[in-house]
Structure 1
């Protein structure tokens, strides 16, 4: 595993020597949270995203120890990690698969902190093929499906047995935590609604191949593959601000070079869009206050 958590994946563009415009701002940092396997290796495969990029790995990857408090406990810890690299100012978060779910919980906890003006301004979330966990319990979503099977990424020829064991343990523990996760309700204790940040969802277009290729048998991550929002409307309509289709299936987004190039471009574009939306909201608020 990487010694630092978060680890610095990309430094971003170096500041120019000439004096910067008073209107120019450095690119917003992006923090990517690990997938179900617990590592951030896939994010190191990405091309340049034109901003500082940090990765949060599962700190219990080596020990295999569970998080008794589940997703909520992980998110609370990860916010501490985030504040070590972005203590104040604008921030974007995201991740592949489980990383997108954890980002949603982090966003919820940060939103509650924002009520007390703690200083971090979350511009949005970039989910990479993160499927809403409610889809696994939704009978309508599984209509026409004969069987749902668990699938995983194929191991490379040089993958160590120790790595397989640790990743498999993380996947198992992730499944338990997601199954027990009480998803954010986006309202305060007194019933006041808190609006979630914008979410851009990168959605893999293909289905994961299943053993035997039997018709009607799908991978668990493909239960909602035909739904452009990957089941998220069952949780909260309007949560997904934009969907971008990307090539490949859930498990080869980062391992196939052509898919990886597209994923890099779309993550880069999503970050710039989130920044642009923030600027437009900022100026619209200013106009309203100036009336």
Structure 2
């Protein structure tokens, strides 16, 4: 068996279905989580069981250090192939922490452009993904967050993660963000989205928002906190109807996977978001 960077996507969690479950019962929708800016999916392996098949996509260039010449759109094309290799047809939910949520949005755009797609994207779970569109300069200076490493972290691991972060910042800055129509998203979960072609309408997006800012002793703010005071984390600057629902979770951007308490509440948030997306899809089906 290869490493997480060779086998894509990785199976992170197998579903534990009740043995007496009806064969006609709706099976939980697979969830595919895309790596954060550091390129790895280790954090997703730390989550409590989410009650569904969970796959993870790590950055395949993590070890080689190669750049993505085509930026985020190129990543999304490759990642969509990975997703289809695990879930070739039927329902799927995608998402990810930080950069993973942004890449998911590009994957959704490319999937929507397919004419004969067999995948039904129920929605996106963004885990504290901050919109890169900034309308006004922040009041405090933006400072680089100092990474905290475990005492046994190898230097080559540190180098690879930091290289991925630098590449992510470059790609996000150059990303031509997908264009969607506005005015079509449902804010409540009782009704269906409008009938007709969904090609230009964003899928439902549930945003898990960390409630605390990253501690910054330098007197500035971390890049990920530029929109921290905005419930939508700035996504209204991009598309005012993109975010279907916001779920606040304890912790700040860099520790929502790193303590027992935050891991539990982050996992619970992801679980609830997936269930809500499944419910929205059922409402659309019966509308």
Question: How does 1:205-284 map onto structure 2 within 5 Å?
Answer: 205-212=211-218, 214=219, 217-284=220-287
Q: Deviations over 1:163-197 (max 9, x none)?
A: 0000000000000000000000126xxxx961110
Q: Which residue of 2 aligns with 1:98?
A: 99
Q: Against the structure 1 CA distance between its residues 21 and 28, is the aligned structure 2 distance closer, same or farther, given a 3 Å change threshold?
A: same
Larger radius of gyration: 1
Kindly indicate whether residue 207 of structure 2 is the aligned counterpart of residue 201 of structure 1: yes
Q: Against the structure 1 CA distance between its residues 256 and 222, is the aligned structure 2 distance closer, same or farther, given a 3 Å change threshold?
A: same
Displacement after TM superposition at 1:19 (Å): 7.0
Contact 1:9 1:53 in 2 (8 A): yes
Q: 1:139 aligns with which of 136, 139, 161?
A: 136
Kindly indicate whether residue 178 of structure 2 is the aligned counterpart of residue 184 of structure 1: yes
Displacement after TM superposition at 1:20 (Å): 2.1
Q: Distance in 1 between matches of 2:146 and 2:11?
A: 27
Q: Against the structure 1 CA distance between its residues 199 and 152, is the aligned structure 2 distance closer, same or farther, given a 3 Å change threshold?
A: farther
Q: Against the structure 1 CA distance between its residues 224 and 4, is the aligned structure 2 distance closer, same or farther, given a 3 Å change threshold?
A: same
Q: Deviations over 1:175-232 (max 9, x none)?
A: 0000000000126xxxx961110000000011101133x2xx1111101100000000
Q: Which residue of 2 aligns with 1:289?
A: none
Alignment: residue pair count: 268
Q: Which residue of 2 aligns with 1:154?
A: 148
Displacement after TM superposition at 1:21 (Å): 4.7
Q: Which residue of 2 aligns with 1:117?
A: 116
Report the secondary structure of 1:67's partner residue.
Answer: coil
Displacement after TM superposition at 1:154 (Å): 1.1
TM-score (norm 1): 0.89
Structure 2 gaps of 5+ residues are 182-197
Report the secondary structure of 2:133's partner residue.
Answer: helix
Q: Which residue of 1 aligns with 2:68?
A: 67
Q: Distance in 2 between matches of 1:73 and 1:90?
A: 23
CA RMSD of aligned residues (A): 1.5
Query: Deviation above 4 Å: which 4+ runs of structure 1?
Result: none
Q: 1:175 aligns with which of 137, 147, 169?
A: 169
Query: Is the helix fraction higher in 1 or 2?
Result: 1
Q: Which residue of 1 aligns with 2:35?
A: 34
Displacement after TM superposition at 1:93 (Å): 0.2
Displacement after TM superposition at 1:158 (Å): 1.2
Structure 1 gaps of 5+ residues are 285-291
Contact 2:95 2:126 in 1 (8 A): yes
Q: Which residue of 1 aligns with 2:109?
A: 108
Q: Against the structure 1 CA distance between its residues 66 and 273, is the aligned structure 2 distance closer, same or farther, given a 3 Å change threshold?
A: same
Kindly indicate whether residue 22 of structure 2 is the aligned counterpart of residue 20 of structure 1: yes
Q: Which residue of 1 aligns with 2:185?
A: none
Q: Distance in 2 between matches of 1:184 and 1:193?
A: 12
